[in-house]
Structure 1
Amino acid sequence: MASRKSFYLVREDMLTDAMEKTLEAKELLHSGKVKKINEAVHKVGLSRSAFYKYKDGIFPFHTMVKEKIITLSIILVDRSGSLSQLLGKVAETGANVLTINQTIPLQGRAHMTLSIDTAPMALDLDELMELLEGLEAVEKVELVGSGS
């Protein structure tokens, strides 16, 4: 089983310049001051590659505290009932499934992204990911985003 990413709380003055600019670009996009990523990165003086490197891994603390919608990347074994079992486990936690995107299975594996509203859950995010990784049909679970 692949190791899961750990999360850390880091003081702002410890962030690299590229990380700070990524946060600025994300805020410009979120506020509607710019419409395209190209505009946002140009305005803050950041390369697109640096933006894409950090965009899904850095968030202002206040958004992580109040955000209740997460997106998980999951590698699922292609076998009858796998998706049903996964969704059943998510439902047991009280989370609400918002979107499901799944690739056509190749070589016995399907990649899927699952966006869920975690507000009704009693578990924390680490517990949810551990629960899903414990399913026989699940090979890997990663947090890829958080947002409303």
Structure 2
Amino acid sequence: MEKREDTRFYLVRGDVLPDAMKRTLEAKELIDRGQATSVWEAVQRVDLSRSAFYKYRDTVFPFHRVVKEKIVTLFFQLEDRSGTLSTLLTEVATFHCNVLTINQTIPLQGRANVTLSLNITGLTVEIDEMIAELRRLEFVDKVEVLGSGA
């Protein structure tokens, strides 16, 4: 019987990835950004064996590298205060994202849920950096990626 290679893909939170995969991602980033001139230098800097790097380099990718459609839907839980949605949209605009849809629930118990679908073609940073910045807004309780697609 012929062995079939498993080519299914999964979206996995970074905190559950094995250490070797995380370090492989770090080494790849060092190389991509020109902060390491060789695989040897990159793996030394992140304390990873070359064999582990070569084992995982073609199988583990940051989320922003695999989003091909350039449309991302984000879920937010916001404090119910005057101007929060406006401030959130202004912040999203600073990253050069185009808002495609906005859905907001009626605030209950001082919180409102907002879902934004964004065209991220013009995104000026990595998507995970943008999400981290949005999480830092004082009125944002939660940010989650609901999906990506056309």
What does residue range 51-62 of structure 1 map to in structure 2 within 5 Å?
A: none
Summarize deviations over 1:44-75 as a string: whole Å, max 9, x none.
xxxxxxxxxxxxxxxxx9x9342200000100
4+ runs deviating over 4 angstroms: none
- 1:114 and 1:100 mapped to 2: Cα distance? 5
**1:132 and 2:125 correspond:** no
Asked if 2 retains the 8 angstrom alpha-carbon contact of 1:74 and 1:139, the reply is yes
Question: TM-score, length-normalised on structure 1?
Answer: 0.58
Summarize deviations over 1:118-145 as a string: whole Å, max 9, x none.
0101111101100110101100000011
- 1:84 and 1:139 mapped to 2: Cα distance? 16
Tell me the SS of whatever aligns to 1:130. Answer: helix
Summarize deviations over 1:2-58 as a string: whole Å, max 9, x none.
xxxxxxxxxx62759xx8xxxxxxxxxxxxxxxxxxxxxxxxxxxxxxxxxxxxxxx
What does residue range 71-82 of structure 1 map to in structure 2 within 5 Å?
A: 71-82=73-84
- Across the aligned residues of Structure 1 and Structure 2, the Cα RMSD in angstroms comes to 2.2
- Residue 44 of structure 1 corresponds to none
Pair 1:68–1:15, CA change in 2 (3 A): closer
What does residue range 57-96 of structure 1 map to in structure 2 within 5 Å?
A: 64-96=66-98
Larger Rg: 2
- 2:88 and 2:131 mapped to 1: Cα distance? 11
What does residue range 91-102 of structure 1 map to in structure 2 within 5 Å?
A: 91-102=93-104
Gaps of 5+ in 2: 11-62
Asked if 1 retains the 8 angstrom alpha-carbon contact of 2:67 and 2:148, the reply is no
Question: TM-score, length-normalised on structure 2?
Answer: 0.57
Number of aligned residues: 93
- Residue 17 of structure 2 corresponds to none
- Residue 114 of structure 1 corresponds to 116
% identical aligned pairs = 55
**1:13 and 2:6 correspond:** yes
